[in-house]
Amino acid sequence: MALIIRVRSVVLASAALALASCGSAPEEEAADIAGETVAVPEAESDDMVEPIADPADVMAEPDAAAATQVAAVALPEPASLAQCKSCHSFEEGEPARIGPNLHGIYGNKAGSVAGFNYSPALKSSGLVWDDKTLDEYLAAPTKLVPGGRMPMGQTNPDKRKDIIEYLKSQG
């Protein structure tokens, strides 16, 4: 047996179909709403959808691996990266330029990109690139790492934030 529902739009018909497939049938067999007539099959008890997860699991805090996966979604390249691109490459596998390729540096030790000749000061700095260290370094590279080779920084905090978020998204 089919329920007959009058609806004004396809959206209402879709909602009725969704409700019928979940086993939530309207109280009346036919709704008197101006518009088109749509037949909706009545849900059988064996057509019911079983839950796929325990609601407590869905609401639980994500683990570190899940958080990393979310953070690894690449952002579009910000306009503030133009200054950086004069010396650095950012795409995975691109060769180094005057400065090292910065793809994937977030969370890594400073001076650790294989094949690039870093200054002794940066190699021995002990820095790990995170929001705080990148912000300080980009603001004044030679202040944070005296003896480093990076000649220029970014004084605008909003542009630094954009650059850091982009680097973070690069995995």
Task: Say yes or no: 30 and 97 in one domain.
Answer: no
Task: Say yes or no: 43 and 74 in one domain.
Answer: no
pLDDT of the residue at 104:
94
Task: Say yes or no: 73 and 35 in one domain.
Answer: no
Q: Which residues are registered as beta bridge partners of 39?
A: 4
pLDDT of the residue at 11:
38
Q: How many domains does the chain have?
A: 2
Q: Which residue has the tokens 């952002």?
A: 75
Task: Say yes or no: 78 and 40 in one domain.
Answer: no
Task: Say yes or no: 99 and 131 in one domain.
Answer: yes
- Rounded to whole angstroms, the Cα distance separating 158 from 127 reads 22
Residue 63 lies in a domain: no
Q: What is the pLDDT along the chain (171 residues), one digit of tens a residue?
A: 444 444 333 334 444 444 444 444 444 444 444 455 545 455 454 544 444 455 444 444 444 444 444 445 667 889 999 999 999 999 999 999 999 999 999 999 999 999 999 999 999 999 999 999 999 999 999 999 999 999 999 999 999 999 999 999 987
pLDDT of the residue at 171:
76
Task: Say yes or no: 93 and 155 in one domain.
Answer: yes
What residue numbers bound the domain in which 146 lies? 69-169
Task: Say yes or no: 81 and 154 in one domain.
Answer: yes
- Rounded to whole angstroms, the Cα distance separating 152 from 159 reads 14
What is the pTM assigned to this prediction?
0.57
Nearest Cα neighbor of 40 from 63, 62, 64, 15 is 15
Tokens of 31: 């709704």
Task: Say yes or no: 129 and 159 in one domain.
Answer: yes
Task: Say yes or no: 38 and 85 in one domain.
Answer: no
- The CATH number given to whatever domain includes residue 123 is 1.10.760.10
Task: Say yes or no: 117 and 161 in one domain.
Answer: yes
Residue 111 lies in a domain: yes
